Amino acid sequence: MASLPRTYTFPPLEAASPEGLLAVGGDLNPDRLLSAYRQGVFPWFSNGQPILWWSPDPRAILYPTNLHISRSLRKNMRTQGFEVTADRAFDRVIEVCAESRNAREGTWITSGMQQAYCTLHRMGYAHSVETWQNGQLVGGLYGLAIGKAFFGESMFSHVTDASKTALVALAASLTAGGYHFIDCQVVSEHLNSLGAQAVPRYRFSSELKQAVEIPVNGTPWNWATPARELS
């Protein structure tokens, strides 16, 4: 993995607006993005806007072992013939995530964002989890792994429970790898139903600092999904 030649400093998280907006401007170069995530900040903006950097309070996080798997989801994972992989189709996953969001509410995954995260993927930081059915990509998610924290960015599903199946596989792999949490960023009922919880920003910041400072020997991404989680 490439080292970080430059660190970018963001304002203190408590300086964010009530909505969570912390800073405006800058660019999406890899060093700035990685510095942002390590400090608990993420970009979120639409086409035509300047780059907006956010740190909401409270923050939605999911401890991998707390993921809620409903009986219907477990049944679909068992009967739908899903195959789950990691990093097999990163570029396609982020592309479909952008298309899916654009169709619903307007995408914040701009072309510049796609290029930036594809660069982080090639650097070994950004990763995807894909769900396949009959050889077709039907669901997936992507995010960043830094230290022992995973920062979830977006997911899509073309078949019922395909994205949730990818999340189950991700949570199992992160648990096996000793990851502390998945950062889900913004609180929502959907995330809550999956086991995410809202934590105060100060607590998130403290847990994040511990997680990202854990040194990772060799490759930081060891994909290992216990088969029992998907059966």
Q: What digits encode the pLDDT tens for the residues 203-213?
A: 999 999 999 98
- Please report whether residue 4 resides in a domain: no
100 with 114, same domain: the answer is: yes
19 with 100, same domain: the answer is: no
23 with 97, same domain: the answer is: no
Q: How far is CA 165 from CA 36, 157, 178, 229, in A?
A: 29, 10, 20, 10
Q: Provide the residue range defining the domain that includes 144.
A: 59-230
- Please report whether residue 2 resides in a domain: no
Ramachandran angles phi, psi of 84, nearest 5°? -115, 135
Banded model confidence at residue 170, pLDDT cuts 50, 70, 90? very high
- Please report whether residue 99 resides in a domain: yes
pLDDT, tens digit, for every residue of 6-31?
899 999 999 999 999 999 999 999 99
177 with 220, same domain: the answer is: yes
Strands (E), the chain: 21-24, 42-43, 52-54, 59-62, 82-86, 126-133, 136-146, 149-157, 181-185, 197-199
The domain total for the chain is 2
Once rounded to an integer, what is the mean pLDDT over residues 190-195? 93
